[in-house]
Amino acid sequence: MVKININGRDFEAEPCQTVLSVAQSAGIDIPTLCHTEAVADYGACRICLVEVERRGRKRLVTSCLYPVEEGIKVTTDSERVKKVRKTIIELLLARCPDSQAIREMAENMGVTESRFALEEKAETGSCILCGLCTRVCSEVVGASAISLVNRGTAREVALPFYDEASSCIACGSCAYICPTGAISLVDAGSKRIISWPNGTVDFQMKQCTRCGSHYAPVRQVEYMIESSGLSPTEFELCPDCRKLD
Ligand code: SF4
Ligand code: FES
């Protein structure tokens, strides 16, 4: 076990843990946007930064990536931490002024408006380029249908497809995981409509052969048939009708 100190309290941690995971287990609040247990951390948003003192030297680190080390002293809410976090949230606010999640986080930090100029991208949505959607698509779903492309101000989440060759299965994991609501998903009868920051695609839904309800995207059902090895007949009924059998 590794001994560390957070905000004056001593903790023992597994060597594989990050500072964020130890703090969260202890109920110590550190804001995060791009962290989830579902995928490997990437350190994109930097809002989780904390101050770490190691061998007499203090520096700011992203807590979701920083591994625990024997004897480190962590401060999650020093004036220096709060000041830099405020600057980060102001930059995010300038990029995504209409994102409710960003606005709420900013308000919690006492920030109601940004000192920075609105980015051009601000007109097109709420994406903070955290990459959670692309990572969940590749690491959890295994589809790798969307990706972050380009550099600098042209960086964006690339739409999965407008052609039959796409590997998007319309599962909607990207929409569920997105921390800012930049991706939306609506099930409207026979269609699932997913809107990414730069475009919208409709997906055909599969219909239950008994009750007629549209219960899952056709592409997702095909994916499940292929990956499970089950017969297509197993997917003829919706979950409700299956329970009745
Ligand atoms: S769409 Fe959402 S999850 Fe994907 S990069 Fe943008 S903010 Fe992150
Ligand atoms: S939560 Fe750590 S960098 Fe985003």
* Tens of pLDDT, residues 70-102: 999 999 999 999 999 999 999 999 988 889 999
C-alpha 38 to ligand 1 mean position (Å): 15
Q: Let me know whether 7 and 36 are in one domain.
A: yes
pLDDT digits (tens, 9 = 90+) for 2-47: 999 999 999 999 999 999 999 999 999 999 999 999 999 999 999 9
Q: State how far the Cα of 54 lies from the Cα of 38, in Å rounded to an integer.
A: 30
Distance 134 CA to ligand 1 centre (A): 8
Residues whose CB is less than 8 angstroms from the CB of residue 221 and which lie 6 or more positions away in sequence, other chains included: 206, 235
Confidence of residue 122 (pLDDT cuts 50, 70, 90): low
Residue-averaged pLDDT of the chain: 90
User: Is the same domain home to 30 and 53?
Assistant: yes
- Tell me the average pLDDT across 45-66: 96
- Pick the atom of ligand 2 nearest to 46's CA: 3
Domain count, the chain: 3
Ligand 2 pocket, residues with Cβ under 6 angstroms: 32-35, 43-48, 62, 64
Say if residue 65 is in the same domain as residue 88.
no
Ligand closest to the CA atom of residue 36? 2
Same structural domain, 206 and 237: yes
- Among residues 67, 98, 124, the one where a domain terminates is 124
Which residues have CB under 8 Å from 235's CB, separation 6+?
206, 221, 224, 225
Q: What's 42's domain CATH number? A: 3.10.20.740
Is the domain of 87 the same as that of 72? no
Count CB-CB contacts under 10 A for residue 153: 9
Which residue range forms the structural domain that includes residue 36?
Answer: 2-77
Residue 165 predicted with pLDDT over 50? no
